[in-house]
Structure 1
Amino acid sequence: MTDLDARADLDTAAWGAKHVHDPTIVRDDDGTYWLFSTDARSDGPVRGGVQIRRSSDLVTWEFHGWAFDGVPAPAAAWSGAHGLWAPDVVRVPTPAGPEWRMYYSASTFGSRRSAIGLAVAPHPAGPWADRGVVVASEHHEPPEGLTQPNAIDANLVTEPDGTQWLVYGSFFGGIHVLPVDPATGLVPDAPAPGTLHTAPGTLLARRARTADNGAVEGAFVLPRPGGGWALVVSYDSLASSYHVRAAVGDAVTGPFRDRAGRTMSDDGPDVDPWSIGVPILAGHRHAGGPGVLAPGHASVLTETVPTASGPLERHLLVHHVRDADAPTEHRLQVRRLVWTHDGWPLVSPQPWAGAAREDDDQACWPTDPAVLEGTWESLAPGAAPTRVQDGVVGELSPRSGVRALGEGRFTWTADDGATVSAVVHPGWDAVRGRATLCLGALDDAGRVTLATRLP
Structure 2
Amino acid sequence: MTDTETRTALDTAAWGGRHVHDPTVVRDGDGTYWLFSTDARYDGPVRGGVPIRRSRDLVTWELVGWALPGVPGPAADWSGAEGLWAPEVVEVTLRDGTRGWRMYYSASSFGSRRSAIGLATAPHPSGPWADHGIVVASDHVEPPEGLGHPNAIDANVVTEADGSQWLVYGSFFGGVHVLPLDPATGLLASDVADVSGRPGALRDAPGRCLARRPRAADGAVEGAFVLPRPGGGWALLVSYDSLAGSYHLRAAVADRVTGPYRDRGGLDLADLDAAAADPWAVGVPVLSGHRLAGGRGLLGPGHASVLTEPAPGAPGVRQLLVHHVRDADAPTEHRVQVRRLVWTHDGWPLVSPQPWAGTGREQDDESRWPTDPTVLDGPWESFAPGADATHVQDGVIGPLPRRADVRVVAPGRFAWLADDGAHVSAVVHPGWDAVRGRATLCLSTLDDRGRTLLATRLPRPAPETAPEGDRP
Q: In structure 2, what is the equivalent of residue 154 of structure 1?
A: 155
Match of 1:244 among 245, 249, 253: 249
* 8 Å contact kept, 2:311–2:365: no
Contact 1:138 1:197 in 2 (8 A): no
Deviations 1:267-310 (A, max 9, x none): 12744211100011000000000000000100000001233xx4
Q: How does 1:145-294 map to 2 (within 5 A)?
A: 146-189=147-190, 190-191=193-194, 192-193=196-197, 194=199, 195-211=201-217, 213-268=218-273, 270-294=276-300
Residue of structure 2 in register with 1:33 after alignment: 33
The structural deviation recorded for 1:118 is 0.4
C-alpha separation in 1, matches of 2:52 and 2:276: 44
Match of 2:470 in 1: none
Cα-to-partner distance string for 1:162-185 (whole Å, 9 max, x where unaligned): 010000000010000000000000
| Corresponding residue for residue 85 of structure 1 | 85
Larger radius of gyration: 2
Matched residue SS, 1:350: strand
Deviations 1:314-351 (A, max 9, x none): 00000000000111100000000000000000000000
| Alpha-carbon contact 1:168-1:176 (below 8 Å) kept | yes
Structure 1 position 303 matched with structure 2 position 303: no
Match of 2:117 in 1: 116
Alignment of 1:272-421 (within 5 A): 272-307=278-313, 310-421=314-425
Residues 335-370 of structure 1: CA deviation (Å, up to 9, x unaligned)? 000000000000000000000000000000000101
Contact 2:2–2:126 under 8 Å retained in 1: no
> Number of matched residues?
452
Check whether the contact 1:376–1:451 (CA below 8 A) recurs between aligned residues. yes
Shift of the alpha carbon at 1:101? 0.3
Q: Which amino acid aligns with 2:114?
A: R
Paired residue secondary structure (1:370):
helix
Which runs of structure 2 are paired with 1:44-55 in the superposition (5 Å)? 44-55=44-55
Q: Which amino acid aligns with 2:320?
A: L
Q: 2: CA distance between counterparts of 1:225 and 1:331?
A: 30
Per-residue CA deviations over 1:408-427 (Å, capped at 9, x if unaligned) read 00000000000000000000
TM-score by length of 2: 0.94
User: Kindly, what percent of the aligned residue pairs are identical?
Assistant: 73
Structure 2 Cα separation of the partners of residues 386 and 330 of structure 1: 18
CA distance in 1, matches of 2:144, 2:446: 38
Per-residue deviation at 1:144? Answer: 4.9
Q: Which residue of 1 aligns with 2:98?
A: 97
Contact 1:306–1:312, Cα closer than 8 Å, also in 2 = no
Task: Give the superposition deviation at 1:145.
Answer: 7.2
Is 2:440 the partner of 1:439? no
Asked if structure 2 preserves the Cα contact closer than 8 Å seen for 1:4 and 1:67, the reply is no
Query: Aligned-pair distance for 1:8?
Result: 2.8
Is 270-279 or 26-35 further displaced after alignment? 270-279
CA distance in 2 between counterparts of 1:144 and 1:314 reads 45
State the one-letter code of the partner of 1:242. Answer: Y
Cα deviations across residues 369-416 of structure 1 (Å, max 9, x unaligned)? 011111000110000012100000011101100000122000000000
- In structure 2, give the amino acid aligned to 1:60: T
Relative to structure 1, is the Cα distance of residues 270 and 296 closer, same or farther in structure 2, using a 3 angstrom cutoff? closer
Shift of 1:6: 4.2
Question: How far apart, CA to CA, are the structure 1 residues paired with 2:272 and 2:146?
Answer: 15
Which ranges of structure 2 fall in alignment gaps of 5 or more residues? Answer: 460-472
CA distance, structure 2, for counterparts of residue 338 and residue 129 of structure 1: 36
Matched, 1:73 2:73: yes
Contact kept, 8 Å, 2:108 with 2:116, in 1: the verdict is: yes
Cα displacement (A) at 1:266: 1.1
What letter matches 1:248 in structure 2? Answer: V
- Deviation, 1:198, is 1.2
